[in-house]
Amino acid sequence: MDDARHAGFSLFELLVTLALAALLASLALPAAGRFIDNSRLRSAAESLSRELQLARSHALTHGQDVRFSITTGATDWCYGWTDGASCDCQTRLPASGACTTGRSPDRRSHRQSSLDYPRTRLSRSWVLRFSPVRGTATAASFRFSNTGGELRVILSPLGRIRICSTSGEAYLSC
Q: Let me know if residue 15 belongs to a domain.
A: no
CA dihedral 128, 123, 33, 174 (to 10 degrees): 80
In this prediction, residue 35 carries a pLDDT of: 85
Q: Is residue 158 part of a domain?
A: yes
Give Dmax (Cα) for the chain.
93
Q: Is 29 helix (H, G, I), strand (E, B) or coil?
A: helix
Q: Does 27 map to a domain?
A: no
d(CA 66, CA 74): 27
In a domain, 24, yes or no: no
pTM attached to this predicted model: 0.80
Do residues 96 and 86 lie in contact, with contact meaning Cβ atoms separated by under 8 Å?
no
Write down the mean pLDDT value for the chain. 86
* Residues in the chain with pLDDT values less than 50: 1
Range(s) of the domain holding residue 148: 33-165
